[in-house]
Chain A
Amino acid sequence: MHKNLSHEEITPPEYSFYLGCVIPNRYPFVEQATRNVLNELGVRLKDMQGASCCPAPGVFRSFDIPTWLAIGARNIAIAEENNADLVTMCNGCYGTLIDVDHQLKTDEKKRTFVNNHLVKIDKKFKGSIKVKHLAEVLYMDLGMDKIRDSVTRLLGGLKCAVHYGCHLTKPSAIRPWGGETEDPRFFDELVEVIGCESTDYKDKHMCCGAGGGVRSAIKEVSLDFTRHKLEMMREAGAECIVVMCPFCMLQLDLGQIEVNSIFKDEISAPFAIPVFYYTQLLGLAMGMHPNDLGLVKHHNLKGVPPFVDQEPILSRIFKELGYDYKQLQKQSVKTES
């Protein structure tokens, strides 16, 4: 059968949109921002019916590999039914799903084992799609030219501490970044293209502290990592932190409140560096409305993310873009009532 090439050209790129756990439960506005931004960039997202926890690499892969493989394979199988590559916004989900995908594609024994279980629920791992991180979709599939073209306003040299997170670049052999782990640049480029400055800071590629089940198991050790990272970011003069992983986001956001209390005698001053997910800032640079990007927090909301107050920095950026933070906050109250 001949393929209709002209038809293919106009078909928008499609992805199975994998949400994971942390975003729906803690940072739902990150999903909103990402959906809107990808939509604006001409990407069609297919929901994954019945998708579960990835499952988390630190707490599953470290303890029970067969279970981890089977659950991961089930999620990938759902994306295969969608007939579209899987995209995830989370480094942890990425770490699990790309590893499961790689292992099952290269090891027939494991594939047979997993499929023997999946057949009981009418599912099958075929190995027909790829697992991708949102960063790969933006940087490689859509490409920097497309992102650059879609940017309509620059964010005035905002000093960002970019945090890559561990699973995004390692292990390098099954990552798309050409073996680069010591000094990758793609995230910095994505941040620079929207008019921000990527501030170099010491131990940029150090773990946020949350991964590997450490946050769940020994919180103080995990927060000590976070404390060190935050100190390095502050020393380098970063005005905000930009992430592409909700778990890193949680650790660097909620973590600041925790560090301020647990390590209050060791730090020179309490931390208050706002944390953004990349698509929130990208959307802003693409001319999208702050309300569509989850950037305005209801003034009455306490104890929910984002934990570090974003108002001071957003007020400044909004002013340059012609918005008034307070006014937007009132509008959002009105919409809700």
Chain B
Amino acid sequence: MEEDLKIGVYLCHCGVNIAGVIDMDELEEFTKTLPNVNLVRQYKFMCSDTGQSMIKDDIKEGLVNRVVVAACSPRMHEPTFRRAIESAGMNKFLFSQANIREHSSWISMKDKEGASRIAKDHIRMQVAKVSKLESLQPQKVKVTPNALVIGGGIAGINAALDLAEQNFHVYLVEKTATIGGHMAQLDKTFPTMDCSACILTPKMVDVNQHENITLMAYSEVDNVEGYVGNFKVTVRQKARYVDTEKCTGCGNCAEECPVTVPNEFDLGLSLRKAAYLPFPQAVPGYYTIDMDHCIKCGICADPSVCEPDAIRYDDKDKFVKLDIGTIIVATGFDPFDPTALKEYGYEKYDNVITSMQMERLLSSYGPTLGKPVRPSDLTAPHSIAFIQCVGSRDFHPGRGHKYCSRVCCMYAMKQARQYMEKHPDAKIYIFYMDIRAFGKGYEEFYEIASREYGIMFIRGRLSEVYEDPKDKGIWLRGEDTLLQVPVEIKVDMVVLSVGIEARDDSDKIASLLSIQKTEDGFFMEAHPKLRPVDTLTDGIFIAGVSQGPKDIPDAVAQAKGAASSAAALMAKGEVEIEPYFAVIDEAICTGCKACNSMCPFGAITFDKISGISVINPAKCKGCGTCVAACPFGAIAQNHFKEEQLDVIIRSVLKEGGVY
């Protein structure tokens, strides 16, 4: 016995976002003509307290028993309106939202007539759909109080420590042999010139010693299954070929190892052994044997070299399974590789280096112990030019990225100032497009760099650089666009201020976790302003540069935000998930098992006793694959049943809509 349908349609103006394009009174008149519509109301901001109260009051007074809100995207405010409806005592799944903003007034801003027609179609469809919707009960699932933090840079470290301090257990998975990330490679940090190691290394030690943190360095996330609160994560602990229980970090193995390879921590400016510790303050402090280069000579395994007997040539990767409630992704970035920009001569000319290499040259534990030299003759350069925006702010395909990398202006000035502190007579040029010194204390830093240090700022993008074969100096050619004159100057060394880009394995992470990426390659936040640390996958949060270029203060702030959001979920202990699972009609199912193998989540099993297939609602993600696969039409997916979808299509086709 069906109850009488009383549909209430609420038209939101969204200020002028919708009402500025669409004639709302005309829309109201149209809506009133739709079947089963009991009342139509307009309001400036339907999501506001007043707007929500209008809906609640109508429900309480028995005027409506189905609700359609025509407003923004359901991505934005479906949860808001559902809460309102629920608080008025109605089942919240008897609601539907027509998106007449993103899908109508915004995209057809210049075609008011067209926008109005599209809006009518959307409302027509949602009114049709809501008339077929059924009451559903949301499922509640427990949230395991364990967090997984992927990436042990400054963002991952901060997120892990914040969660651990709130008594949640944290698994910190880091791909390389040590935590610390790119910050560990930096010498000093702008604008306060704190020594990077001095502020970072104590945090690294805290991570290692915290009772609530399990540090899994030299490990990678191998597989992720499950859903919010109940992720099953497999971590691959890569073989270090060193027994971490026994290794004391004495370093004898590295001393005796006969194999030398370029040290990636110093970006190839120094050599390391096949048995190595990335840098002296590495955490954890065990040595690792790089099997790609080890020749298995056996020297390090000799008891006279490794007294604790920690070398294990037969070590194998281990797979560890973890129960995880929430995940924070803080996988960081790759510095842009400027080799493809041939006009800058990187890798062609000895004395053209990248800013990361310069950072290592400036570092007190770098290859030159903090005394920068130019590669061709290992002398201190008398003049250096920094070239900004290498791989950034370039709209030409194949030449890097469109976005601003946000840190290069500041680090170039910082490196320039650091060098001038060591060599006050040096001449430093910075070739820039715009100086972007936007953070706290940054503009002041810039002022001092130009006024007190006498660094020469030349506005212009270089057209090319070439080497003077006689002394390996570098000629720069470009235009000073402020003076509007061509410039051609010679310097001893060039530093390319390379930008930041998404890690080369970020695609793999995105597909492992089912999270999205924005056009620029970085992970996508759920809302650019209001949900900056959430992803569209519940229970997974993002932090640091993996979400987009940012400096250290911003990365740390975002990490703390992500930790807070993850903690909120875990502290509550349970989470509601939408009951959009598929259901098998036992009367129709023939037990053909066609759906069993189709399910990507292993949610369908065959029940031998009853001879039919059964879906586990907790495992089902509502993808609908089995619905399409069933040859007998025995499977229906909650909230997306055939008649619920069919009626939408019919409503719009019958009326000859825009679509």
Q: Which residues of A contact B (CB under 8 A)?
A: 179, 182-183, 202-203
How many Å lie between the Cα of A179 and that of B397 in the bound state? 10
Closest residue to B344 on the A side, CB-wise? A182
| Cα-based distance from A83 to B384 in the complex (angstroms) | 58
Residue in A182, A202, A203 whose beta carbon sits within 8 Å of that of B342 in the complex: A182
Q: How large is the interface on B (under 10, 10 to 19, 20 to 34, 35 or more residues)?
A: under 10
Q: In the bound complex, how far is the Cα of B464 from the Cα of A157, in angstroms?
A: 29
Contact A202 B466 (CB under 8 A): yes
Which 6 residue pairs across A and B have the least CB separation, nearest first? Answer: A182-B342, A183-B342, A182-B343, A202-B466, A179-B398, A183-B348
Residues of A within 8 A of B343 (CB): 182
In the bound complex, what is the Cα–Cα distance between A203 and B465 (angstroms)? 10
8 contacts between A and B (CB under 8 A): A179-B398, A182-B342, A182-B343, A182-B464, A183-B342, A183-B348, A202-B466, A203-B466
- What's the minimum C-beta distance from A237 to chain B, rounded to whole angstroms? 10
Q: Nearest chain A CB to B150's CB is how many angstroms away? A: 35
Contacting residues, chain B, for A183 (C-beta < 8 A):
342, 348
Complex formed: what's the CA distance from A186 to B348 in Å? 18
- State in angstroms the CA–CA spacing of A183 and B348 once bound together: 11
Chain B contact residues, majority secondary structure: mixed
Q: Add 5 more A-B contacts to A182-B343, A202-B466, A203-B466 (CB < 8 A).
A: A179-B398, A182-B342, A182-B464, A183-B342, A183-B348
B residues near A, CB below 8 A?
342-343, 348, 398, 464, 466
Alpha-carbon separation in the docked complex, A203 to B463 (Å): 12
CB distance from B18 to the nearest CB of A (A): 40
- Tell me how far the C-beta of A125 lies from the nearest C-beta in chain B, rounded to whole angstroms: 30
CA–CA, A164 and B650, complex, Å: 65
Q: Measured between C-beta atoms, what is the minimum distance from A334 to chain B in Å?
A: 47
In the bound complex, what is the Cα–Cα distance between A183 and B344 (angstroms)? Answer: 11
Chain A residues within 8 Å of B342, by CB: 182-183
With A and B bound together, what is the CA distance between A182 and B466 in angstroms?
12
CA distance A322 to B26 in the complex (A): 97
Name the distance in Å between B544's Cβ and chain A's nearest Cβ. Answer: 33
Q: What residues of chain A lie closer than 8 Å to B398, measured between beta carbons?
A: 179
B529 to chain A, nearest CB (A): 38
**B466 neighbours in A (Cβ, 8 Å):** 202-203
Task: Please indicate the chain B residues that have their CB under 8 angstroms from the CB of A202 in the complex.
Answer: 466
Complex interface: chain A residues within 8 A of B348 (CB): 183
Nearest-neighbour CB distance to chain A for B395, whole angstroms, equals 15
Q: Report the minimal beta-carbon distance from A16 to chain B, rounded to whole angstroms.
A: 33
What is the CA–CA distance of A202 and B398 in the complex, to the nearest angstrom?
Answer: 25
Q: Which residues of B contact A203 (CB under 8 A)?
A: 466
The chain B residue with its CB closest to the CB of A184 is B342
Q: How many angstroms between the C-alpha atoms of A179 and B396 in the bound complex?
A: 12
Chain A: CB-nearest residue to B475:
A202
Distance of B16 from chain A, by nearest CB (Å): 41
CA distance in complex: A203, B342 (Å): 14
Chain B residues near A179 (CB-CB < 8 A) = 398
Bound form: Cα–Cα A179–B399 in Å: 11
B residues less than 8 Å from A182 (CB atoms): 342-343, 464
Smallest beta-carbon distance A169→chain B, Å:
12
Among residues of A, the one whose C-beta sits closest to the C-beta of B467 is: A202
- Closest CB-CB distance, A246 to chain B, in whole Å? 28
Rounded to whole Å, the gap between the CB of A120 and the closest CB of chain B is 41
> What distance in Å separates the Cβ of A178 from its nearest Cβ neighbour in chain B?
10
A248 to B342, CA, bound (A): 24
Q: State in angstroms the CA–CA spacing of A202 and B342 once bound together.
A: 14
Nearest A residue to B343 by beta-carbon distance?
A182
Q: How far is the CB of B343 from chain A (nearest CB, A)?
A: 5
A203 to B398, CA, bound (A): 23
What's the minimum C-beta distance from A49 to chain B, rounded to whole angstroms?
Answer: 42
Residue of B nearest to A235 (CB): B469
Instruction: Compute how far the CA of A195 lies from the CA of B290 in the bound complex, rounded to whole angstroms.
Output: 43
CB distance from B399 to the nearest CB of A (A): 10
A200 to chain B, nearest CB (A): 8
Q: With the chains together, A82 CA to B342 CA distance in Å?
A: 41
With the chains together, A203 CA to B348 CA distance in Å?
Answer: 15
Could you tell me the distance in whole angstroms from the C-beta of A55 to the nearest C-beta in chain B?
Answer: 30
Closest residue of chain A to B341, judged by CB?
A: A182
Cα A179 to Cα B342 in complex, Å, equals 12
CA distance A33 to B647 in the complex (A): 77
Determine the distance from Cα of A179 to Cα of B464 in the docked complex, in whole angstroms: 17
